[in-house]
A and B are shown apart, each in its own frame.
Chain A
Protein backbone atom coordinates (compact mmCIF):
# COMPACT_ATOMS: atom_id res chain seq x y z
CA UNK A 1 0.00 0.00 0.00
CA UNK A 2 2.74 2.42 1.01
CA UNK A 3 4.78 1.61 -2.06
CA UNK A 4 1.86 2.52 -4.29
CA UNK A 5 1.41 5.81 -2.49
CA UNK A 6 5.12 6.54 -2.87
CA UNK A 7 5.02 5.99 -6.57
CA UNK A 8 1.88 7.92 -7.34
CA UNK A 9 1.45 10.87 -5.03
CA UNK A 10 3.26 14.10 -4.27
CA UNK A 11 4.12 15.14 -0.72
CA UNK A 12 1.16 17.53 -0.64
CA UNK A 13 -1.24 14.82 -1.79
CA UNK A 14 0.08 12.41 0.84
CA UNK A 15 -0.39 15.10 3.48
CA UNK A 16 -3.98 15.64 2.39
CA UNK A 17 -4.64 11.90 2.58
CA UNK A 18 -3.02 11.65 6.00
CA UNK A 19 -5.19 14.49 7.27
CA UNK A 20 -8.21 12.64 5.89
CA UNK A 21 -7.35 9.71 8.14
CA UNK A 22 -5.24 7.52 5.81
CA UNK A 23 -2.28 6.73 8.03
CA UNK A 24 -0.69 4.64 5.27
CA UNK A 25 -0.15 7.87 3.38
CA UNK A 26 2.00 9.15 6.22
CA UNK A 27 3.96 5.88 6.22
CA UNK A 28 4.73 6.61 2.59
CA UNK A 29 5.99 10.07 3.54
CA UNK A 30 8.21 8.48 6.20
CA UNK A 31 9.65 6.02 3.69
CA UNK A 32 10.26 8.84 1.24
CA UNK A 33 12.15 11.07 3.67
CA UNK A 34 13.65 8.78 6.32
CA UNK A 35 16.99 8.38 4.55
CA UNK A 36 17.52 12.13 4.24
CA UNK A 37 16.43 12.83 7.80
CA UNK A 38 18.60 10.04 9.16
CA UNK A 39 21.59 11.29 7.17
CA UNK A 40 21.07 14.85 8.39
CA UNK A 41 20.70 13.72 12.00
CA UNK A 42 23.69 11.39 11.86
CA UNK A 43 25.96 14.10 10.49
CA UNK A 44 24.63 16.63 12.97
CA UNK A 45 24.97 14.37 16.02
CA UNK A 46 27.68 11.90 15.03
CA UNK A 47 26.04 8.85 16.61
CA UNK A 48 23.76 6.31 14.99
CA UNK A 49 21.65 5.83 18.12
CA UNK A 50 21.03 9.56 18.50
CA UNK A 51 20.25 9.89 14.80
CA UNK A 52 17.64 7.14 15.06
CA UNK A 53 16.08 8.86 18.08
CA UNK A 54 15.91 12.17 16.26
CA UNK A 55 14.44 10.47 13.22
CA UNK A 56 11.65 8.96 15.32
CA UNK A 57 11.00 12.25 17.12
CA UNK A 58 10.97 14.16 13.85
CA UNK A 59 8.37 12.01 12.14
CA UNK A 60 6.19 11.74 15.22
CA UNK A 61 6.29 15.52 15.67
CA UNK A 62 5.47 15.94 11.99
CA UNK A 63 2.50 13.59 12.31
CA UNK A 64 1.18 15.37 15.39
CA UNK A 65 1.55 18.80 13.80
CA UNK A 66 0.63 17.97 10.24
CA UNK A 67 -2.58 19.98 10.52
CA UNK A 68 -0.43 23.03 11.21
CA UNK A 69 1.63 22.52 8.05
CA UNK A 70 0.97 25.32 5.62
CA UNK A 71 1.16 24.64 1.94
CA UNK A 72 3.12 27.83 1.23
CA UNK A 73 6.34 26.05 2.31
CA UNK A 74 7.69 22.80 0.95
CA UNK A 75 7.20 19.69 3.09
CA UNK A 76 10.92 18.97 2.78
CA UNK A 77 11.80 22.36 4.30
CA UNK A 78 9.31 21.80 7.09
CA UNK A 79 10.53 18.30 7.98
CA UNK A 80 14.19 19.40 7.80
CA UNK A 81 13.40 22.25 10.19
CA UNK A 82 11.74 19.86 12.64
CA UNK A 83 14.72 17.50 12.41
CA UNK A 84 17.24 20.30 12.96
CA UNK A 85 15.30 21.55 15.97
CA UNK A 86 15.28 18.00 17.36
CA UNK A 87 19.06 17.80 16.77
CA UNK A 88 19.63 21.09 18.61
CA UNK A 89 17.48 19.89 21.51
CA UNK A 90 19.46 16.66 21.66
CA UNK A 91 22.77 18.49 21.58
CA UNK A 92 21.64 20.87 24.31
CA UNK A 93 20.53 17.95 26.50
CA UNK A 94 23.85 16.22 25.99
CA UNK A 95 25.76 19.43 26.54
CA UNK A 96 27.78 18.76 23.42
CA UNK A 97 26.74 21.75 21.35
CA UNK A 98 29.99 23.42 20.31
CA UNK A 99 29.58 27.06 21.23
CA UNK A 100 33.03 28.23 20.16
CA UNK A 101 34.71 28.60 16.84
CA UNK A 102 37.84 26.76 15.84
CA UNK A 103 39.89 29.94 16.24
CA UNK A 104 38.73 30.29 19.82
CA UNK A 105 39.70 26.71 20.44
CA UNK A 106 43.16 27.43 19.13
CA UNK A 107 43.47 30.54 21.23
CA UNK A 108 42.45 29.23 24.62
CA UNK A 109 43.29 25.58 24.12
CA UNK A 110 39.79 24.40 24.98
CA UNK A 111 38.66 21.20 23.36
CA UNK A 112 35.14 20.74 22.08
CA UNK A 113 33.21 17.94 23.71
CA UNK A 114 32.65 15.72 20.74
CA UNK A 115 30.37 12.71 20.75
CA UNK A 116 32.33 9.61 21.64
CA UNK A 117 33.20 8.26 18.21
CA UNK A 118 35.06 5.29 19.66
CA UNK A 119 31.95 3.93 21.31
CA UNK A 120 30.46 2.88 17.96
CA UNK A 121 29.65 -0.67 17.08
CA UNK A 122 32.25 -2.73 15.23
CA UNK A 123 30.44 -2.66 11.83
CA UNK A 124 30.34 1.16 12.00
CA UNK A 125 34.06 1.30 12.70
CA UNK A 126 34.67 -0.97 9.76
CA UNK A 127 32.70 1.33 7.48
CA UNK A 128 34.48 4.49 8.38
CA UNK A 129 37.88 4.78 6.86
CA UNK A 130 40.48 7.20 8.10
CA UNK A 131 39.45 10.01 5.77
CA UNK A 132 35.81 9.72 6.71
CA UNK A 133 36.72 9.83 10.39
CA UNK A 134 38.75 12.98 9.83
CA UNK A 135 35.90 14.65 8.01
CA UNK A 136 33.51 13.55 10.68
CA UNK A 137 35.65 14.96 13.47
CA UNK A 138 36.20 18.23 11.64
CA UNK A 139 32.50 18.58 10.96
CA UNK A 140 31.54 17.77 14.52
CA UNK A 141 33.93 20.41 15.79
CA UNK A 142 32.08 23.19 13.97
CA UNK A 143 29.40 25.28 15.66
CA UNK A 144 26.01 23.73 14.92
CA UNK A 145 24.83 26.66 12.77
CA UNK A 146 27.77 26.24 10.39
CA UNK A 147 27.66 22.46 10.49
CA UNK A 148 24.01 22.29 9.48
CA UNK A 149 24.56 24.62 6.52
CA UNK A 150 27.50 22.55 5.28
CA UNK A 151 25.51 19.31 5.70
CA UNK A 152 22.49 20.64 3.81
CA UNK A 153 24.63 22.07 1.03
CA UNK A 154 27.19 19.31 0.61
CA UNK A 155 25.27 16.17 1.46
CA UNK A 156 21.71 17.11 0.60
CA UNK A 157 22.50 19.31 -2.37
CA UNK A 158 20.04 21.99 -1.36
CA UNK A 159 20.14 25.44 -2.89
CA UNK A 160 20.98 28.51 -0.84
CA UNK A 161 17.34 29.57 -1.01
CA UNK A 162 16.14 26.18 0.26
CA UNK A 163 18.57 26.24 3.17
CA UNK A 164 17.48 29.80 3.97
CA UNK A 165 13.88 28.59 4.03
CA UNK A 166 14.70 25.74 6.41
CA UNK A 167 16.72 27.96 8.72
CA UNK A 168 14.42 30.94 8.28
CA UNK A 169 17.39 33.22 7.75
CA UNK A 170 18.45 35.42 4.80
CA UNK A 171 20.41 33.79 1.97
CA UNK A 172 23.34 36.08 2.77
CA UNK A 173 23.53 34.60 6.28
CA UNK A 174 23.50 31.09 4.84
CA UNK A 175 26.36 31.93 2.48
CA UNK A 176 28.32 33.60 5.24
CA UNK A 177 27.94 30.61 7.58
CA UNK A 178 28.80 28.19 4.80
CA UNK A 179 31.94 30.06 3.80
CA UNK A 180 33.17 30.45 7.38
CA UNK A 181 32.33 26.82 8.12
CA UNK A 182 34.21 25.56 5.07
CA UNK A 183 37.24 27.66 5.96
CA UNK A 184 37.22 26.28 9.48
CA UNK A 185 36.92 22.74 8.18
CA UNK A 186 39.88 23.26 5.88
CA UNK A 187 41.94 24.49 8.79
CA UNK A 188 40.82 21.62 10.97
CA UNK A 189 41.59 18.98 8.33
CA UNK A 190 45.01 20.46 7.65
CA UNK A 191 45.71 20.31 11.35
CA UNK A 192 44.59 16.69 11.53
CA UNK A 193 46.74 15.76 8.52
CA UNK A 194 49.75 17.42 10.08
CA UNK A 195 49.21 15.44 13.28
CA UNK A 196 49.30 12.07 11.47
Chain B
Protein backbone atom coordinates (compact mmCIF):
# COMPACT_ATOMS: atom_id res chain seq x y z
CA UNK B 1 0.00 0.00 0.00
CA UNK B 2 1.49 3.29 -1.11
CA UNK B 3 1.46 6.12 1.39
CA UNK B 4 -0.92 8.95 0.58
CA UNK B 5 1.63 11.72 0.22
CA UNK B 6 -0.83 14.16 -1.32
CA UNK B 7 -2.01 15.00 2.18
CA UNK B 8 1.35 16.41 3.14
CA UNK B 9 1.79 20.07 2.27
CA UNK B 10 5.54 19.67 1.70
CA UNK B 11 5.12 16.66 -0.54
CA UNK B 12 5.98 18.69 -3.65
CA UNK B 13 9.45 19.35 -2.24
CA UNK B 14 10.14 15.63 -1.99
CA UNK B 15 11.72 15.36 -5.46
CA UNK B 16 13.85 18.46 -4.94
CA UNK B 17 15.16 16.90 -1.72
CA UNK B 18 15.65 13.48 -3.31
CA UNK B 19 17.66 14.86 -6.23
CA UNK B 20 19.44 17.50 -4.15
CA UNK B 21 18.05 20.45 -6.04
CA UNK B 22 17.46 22.51 -2.93
CA UNK B 23 19.45 25.23 -1.27
CA UNK B 24 21.14 24.21 1.96
CA UNK B 25 18.61 26.26 3.92
CA UNK B 26 15.66 24.58 2.21
CA UNK B 27 17.29 21.24 2.89
CA UNK B 28 17.54 21.92 6.60
CA UNK B 29 13.88 22.90 6.70
CA UNK B 30 12.87 19.77 4.82
CA UNK B 31 14.98 17.52 7.04
CA UNK B 32 13.14 18.94 10.04
CA UNK B 33 9.89 18.13 8.27
CA UNK B 34 11.03 14.55 7.64
CA UNK B 35 11.64 14.12 11.38
CA UNK B 36 7.96 14.68 11.99
CA UNK B 37 6.32 13.33 8.80
CA UNK B 38 6.27 9.54 8.58
CA UNK B 39 4.47 9.62 5.23
CA UNK B 40 7.17 11.60 3.46
CA UNK B 41 9.92 9.60 5.18
CA UNK B 42 8.45 6.31 3.98
CA UNK B 43 7.96 7.70 0.50
CA UNK B 44 11.53 8.97 0.42
CA UNK B 45 12.93 5.60 1.48
CA UNK B 46 10.92 3.87 -1.23
CA UNK B 47 12.23 6.27 -3.87
CA UNK B 48 15.81 5.78 -2.63
CA UNK B 49 15.40 2.01 -3.02
CA UNK B 50 13.95 2.46 -6.49
CA UNK B 51 16.87 4.65 -7.51
CA UNK B 52 19.29 1.96 -6.36
CA UNK B 53 17.40 -0.58 -8.43
CA UNK B 54 17.47 1.66 -11.48
CA UNK B 55 21.26 1.69 -11.34
CA UNK B 56 21.21 -2.03 -12.16
CA UNK B 57 20.70 -1.21 -15.81
CA UNK B 58 23.97 0.40 -16.69
CA UNK B 59 25.03 1.04 -20.25
CA UNK B 60 28.77 0.85 -19.82
CA UNK B 61 29.77 0.76 -23.46
CA UNK B 62 28.60 2.49 -26.56
CA UNK B 63 29.39 1.65 -30.14
CA UNK B 64 31.62 3.99 -32.10
CA UNK B 65 29.16 5.90 -34.24
CA UNK B 66 30.42 6.41 -37.77
CA UNK B 67 28.95 9.57 -39.21
CA UNK B 68 29.96 10.21 -42.80
CA UNK B 69 30.05 13.96 -43.19
CA UNK B 70 30.33 15.23 -46.75
CA UNK B 71 33.40 17.46 -47.13
CA UNK B 72 33.09 20.69 -49.06
CA UNK B 73 35.09 20.81 -52.33
CA UNK B 74 37.19 23.66 -50.92
CA UNK B 75 38.12 21.65 -47.82
CA UNK B 76 38.95 18.56 -49.90
CA UNK B 77 41.22 20.69 -52.11
CA UNK B 78 42.83 22.28 -49.06
CA UNK B 79 43.53 18.90 -47.46
CA UNK B 80 44.98 17.55 -50.72
CA UNK B 81 47.20 20.63 -51.01
CA UNK B 82 48.47 20.18 -47.45
CA UNK B 83 49.71 16.69 -48.29
CA UNK B 84 52.58 18.22 -50.30
CA UNK B 85 55.81 19.40 -48.60
CA UNK B 86 56.23 23.15 -48.14
CA UNK B 87 58.55 23.61 -51.14
CA UNK B 88 56.14 21.57 -53.28
CA UNK B 89 53.23 23.78 -52.22
CA UNK B 90 55.28 26.87 -53.17
CA UNK B 91 56.17 25.47 -56.57
CA UNK B 92 52.57 24.44 -57.13
CA UNK B 93 51.32 27.90 -56.23
CA UNK B 94 53.81 29.53 -58.62
CA UNK B 95 52.92 27.13 -61.41
CA UNK B 96 49.23 27.74 -60.84
CA UNK B 97 49.79 31.50 -60.93
CA UNK B 98 51.79 31.21 -64.16
CA UNK B 99 49.14 28.97 -65.72
CA UNK B 100 46.42 31.45 -64.79
CA UNK B 101 48.45 34.28 -66.28
CA UNK B 102 48.94 32.35 -69.50
CA UNK B 103 45.24 31.52 -69.67
CA UNK B 104 44.31 35.14 -69.08
CA UNK B 105 46.68 36.23 -71.80
CA UNK B 106 45.34 33.56 -74.16
CA UNK B 107 41.78 34.70 -73.59
CA UNK B 108 42.77 38.31 -74.08
CA UNK B 109 44.62 37.49 -77.31
CA UNK B 110 41.66 35.52 -78.56
CA UNK B 111 39.33 38.40 -77.92
CA UNK B 112 41.65 40.88 -79.54
CA UNK B 113 42.37 38.46 -82.38
CA UNK B 114 38.75 38.46 -83.48
CA UNK B 115 38.68 42.23 -83.86
CA UNK B 116 40.75 42.46 -87.09
CA UNK B 117 37.70 40.97 -88.80
CA UNK B 118 35.87 44.17 -88.07
CA UNK B 119 38.41 46.36 -89.87
CA UNK B 120 38.32 43.82 -92.68
CA UNK B 121 34.82 45.04 -93.35
CA UNK B 122 36.04 48.60 -93.23
CA UNK B 123 38.81 47.60 -95.53
CA UNK B 124 36.35 46.48 -98.16
CA UNK B 125 35.68 49.95 -99.65
CA UNK B 126 39.34 50.16 -100.59
CA UNK B 127 39.16 47.14 -102.81
CA UNK B 128 35.76 47.85 -104.26
CA UNK B 129 35.43 50.24 -107.14
CA UNK B 130 34.94 53.59 -105.44
CA UNK B 131 32.07 54.67 -107.67
CA UNK B 132 29.90 51.68 -106.83
CA UNK B 133 29.82 52.42 -103.06
CA UNK B 134 29.99 56.20 -102.86
CA UNK B 135 27.22 58.72 -103.34
CA UNK B 136 26.99 60.01 -106.88
CA UNK B 137 27.68 63.57 -105.75
CA UNK B 138 31.32 62.73 -104.79
CA UNK B 139 33.88 63.32 -107.46
CA UNK B 140 36.32 60.48 -108.32
CA UNK B 141 39.19 62.47 -106.75
CA UNK B 142 37.36 62.84 -103.45
CA UNK B 143 36.36 59.19 -103.51
CA UNK B 144 39.97 58.21 -104.11
CA UNK B 145 41.11 60.41 -101.22
CA UNK B 146 38.57 58.84 -98.89
CA UNK B 147 39.60 55.33 -99.91
CA UNK B 148 43.26 56.19 -99.39
CA UNK B 149 42.54 57.69 -95.93
CA UNK B 150 40.55 54.63 -94.87
CA UNK B 151 43.26 52.29 -96.12
CA UNK B 152 45.87 54.28 -94.23
CA UNK B 153 43.85 54.20 -91.00
CA UNK B 154 43.33 50.47 -91.28
CA UNK B 155 47.00 49.88 -91.87
CA UNK B 156 47.91 52.05 -88.85
CA UNK B 157 45.55 50.11 -86.66
CA UNK B 158 46.94 46.80 -87.89
CA UNK B 159 50.45 47.93 -87.05
CA UNK B 160 49.34 49.00 -83.56
CA UNK B 161 47.78 45.57 -82.93
CA UNK B 162 50.88 43.80 -84.16
CA UNK B 163 53.02 45.88 -81.80
CA UNK B 164 50.71 45.08 -78.87
CA UNK B 165 50.78 41.38 -79.73
CA UNK B 166 54.57 41.41 -79.88
CA UNK B 167 54.70 43.16 -76.48
CA UNK B 168 52.39 40.56 -74.88
CA UNK B 169 54.37 37.70 -76.40
CA UNK B 170 57.55 39.22 -75.04
CA UNK B 171 56.01 39.57 -71.55
CA UNK B 172 54.77 35.96 -71.61
CA UNK B 173 58.25 34.77 -72.52
CA UNK B 174 59.64 36.79 -69.61
CA UNK B 175 57.09 35.26 -67.25
CA UNK B 176 57.99 31.78 -68.43
CA UNK B 177 61.66 32.49 -67.89
CA UNK B 178 60.87 33.77 -64.37
CA UNK B 179 58.85 30.66 -63.53
CA UNK B 180 61.63 28.44 -64.79
CA UNK B 181 64.17 30.44 -62.77
CA UNK B 182 62.14 30.14 -59.57
CA UNK B 183 61.63 26.42 -60.15
CA UNK B 184 65.38 26.02 -60.69
CA UNK B 185 66.11 28.02 -57.53
CA UNK B 186 63.70 25.83 -55.58
CA UNK B 187 65.44 22.71 -56.85
CA UNK B 188 68.81 24.18 -55.91
CA UNK B 189 67.53 25.09 -52.45
CA UNK B 190 66.22 21.57 -51.97
CA UNK B 191 69.51 20.02 -53.02
CA UNK B 192 71.44 22.46 -50.79
CA UNK B 193 69.15 21.58 -47.91
CA UNK B 194 69.71 17.85 -48.52
CA UNK B 195 73.47 18.36 -48.77
CA UNK B 196 73.52 20.44 -45.58
CA UNK B 197 71.58 17.80 -43.75
CA UNK B 198 73.94 15.10 -44.98
CA UNK B 199 76.95 17.20 -43.86
CA UNK B 200 75.51 17.86 -40.44
CA UNK B 201 74.56 14.29 -39.66
CA UNK B 202 78.04 13.05 -38.64
CA UNK B 203 78.63 16.06 -36.38
CA UNK B 204 75.17 15.63 -34.88
CA UNK B 205 75.87 12.00 -34.18
CA UNK B 206 79.19 12.95 -32.62
CA UNK B 207 77.54 15.57 -30.43
CA UNK B 208 74.88 13.10 -29.34
CA UNK B 209 77.56 10.54 -28.53
CA UNK B 210 79.48 13.15 -26.52
CA UNK B 211 76.33 14.18 -24.71
CA UNK B 212 75.56 10.57 -23.96
CA UNK B 213 79.08 10.00 -22.63
CA UNK B 214 78.83 13.11 -20.45
CA UNK B 215 75.51 11.84 -19.11
CA UNK B 216 76.99 8.47 -18.23
CA UNK B 217 79.89 10.18 -16.47
CA UNK B 218 77.50 12.27 -14.40
CA UNK B 219 75.47 9.20 -13.48
CA UNK B 220 78.59 7.38 -12.43
CA UNK B 221 79.58 10.25 -10.20
Residues of A within 8 A of B (CB): 21-23, 26-27, 30, 34-35, 38-39, 42-43, 48, 52, 55-56, 59-60, 63, 128-129, 131-132, 134-136, 139, 150, 153-155, 159-160, 175, 178-179, 182-183, 185-187, 189
When C-beta atoms are compared, the residue in chain A nearest to B50 turns out to be A186
Residues of B within 8 A of A (CB): 2, 12, 14-16, 19, 21, 46-47, 50-51, 53-59, 62-65, 67, 69-72, 74-75
Residue of A nearest to B51 (CB): A154
Residues of B contacting A42 in the complex (Cβ-Cβ under 8 angstroms): 59
B65–A34 touching, CB < 8 Å: yes
Pairwise interchain contact B75-A30, C-beta atoms closer than 8 A:
no
10 closest Cβ pairs, A-B complex: A131-B56, A38-B62, A35-B62, A132-B57, A135-B57, A39-B59, A23-B69, A132-B56, A34-B65, A59-B67
Most buried by A among B14, B53, B62: B62
> Are A185 and B19 in contact, with the CB atoms below 8 A?
no
| Best-buried of B14, B54, B56 by chain A (most CB within 10 Å) | B54
Interchain nearest-CB distance for A16 vs B (Å): 15
For the residues of B in contact with A, the DSSP-based class is loop
What residues of chain A lie closer than 8 Å to B74, measured between beta carbons?
21
Residues of B within 8 A of A30 (CB): 65, 67
Task: Please name 19 pairs of A and B residues whose Cβ atoms are closer than 8 Å in the assembled complex, sorted by A.
Answer: A23-B72, A26-B67, A30-B65, A35-B62, A38-B63, A39-B62, A43-B59, A52-B63, A56-B65, A59-B67, A129-B56, A131-B56, A135-B56, A136-B57, A154-B51, A159-B19, A159-B21, A185-B54, A186-B2
Complex contact B65–A135 (CB within 8 A): no
How distant is the Cα of A150 from the Cα of B57 in the complex, in angstroms?
13
| B residues less than 8 Å from A139 (CB atoms) | 54, 57
User: How far does the alpha carbon of A59 sit from the alpha carbon of B14 in the complex, in Å?
Assistant: 36
CA distance A136 to B71 in the complex (A): 40
Additional pairs, 12, CB under 8 Å, beyond known A52-B63, A175-B15: A21-B72, A23-B72, A30-B67, A35-B62, A38-B59, A135-B54, A159-B21, A160-B15, A175-B12, A178-B15, A179-B15, A189-B50
Which residues of chain B are within 8 angstroms of A132 by Cβ–Cβ distance? 56-58
Chain A proximity of B82: nearest CB distance (Å)? 12
Whether B75 contacts A23 by the Cβ 8 Å rule is: yes
- Assuming the contacts A39-B59, A135-B53, A153-B19, asked whether A23 and B71 have C-beta atoms less than 8 A apart, the reply is yes
Residue of A nearest to B74 (CB): A21
Of B15, B59, B71, most A-chain CB atoms within 10 Å: B59
Measured between beta carbons, the chain A residues less than 8 angstroms from B54 are 135, 139, 150, 154-155, 185
CB contact between B53 and one of A22, A159, A189 (< 8 Å): that residue: A189
Q: Which interface residue of B51, B69, B75 has the most chain A CB atoms within 10 A? A: B69
User: Nearest chain-A residue to B19 (Cβ)?
Assistant: A153
A48 contacts across to B, CB distance below 8 A: 63
Whether B65 contacts A38 by the Cβ 8 Å rule is: yes
B72 to chain A, nearest CB (A): 5
B residues in contact with A35, CB < 8 Å? 62
**Docked complex Cα distance between A27 and B67 (Å):** 8
Q: Is the CB of A63 within 8 A of B72?
A: no
- Determine whether the beta carbon of A27 is less than 8 Å from that of B50: no
User: Looking across the interface, which residue of chain B has its beta carbon closest to that of A186?
Assistant: B50
A60→B66 CA distance, assembly (Å): 10
Choose among B47, B51, B57, B72 the residue with the greatest number of A CB atoms under 10 Å from its CB.
B57
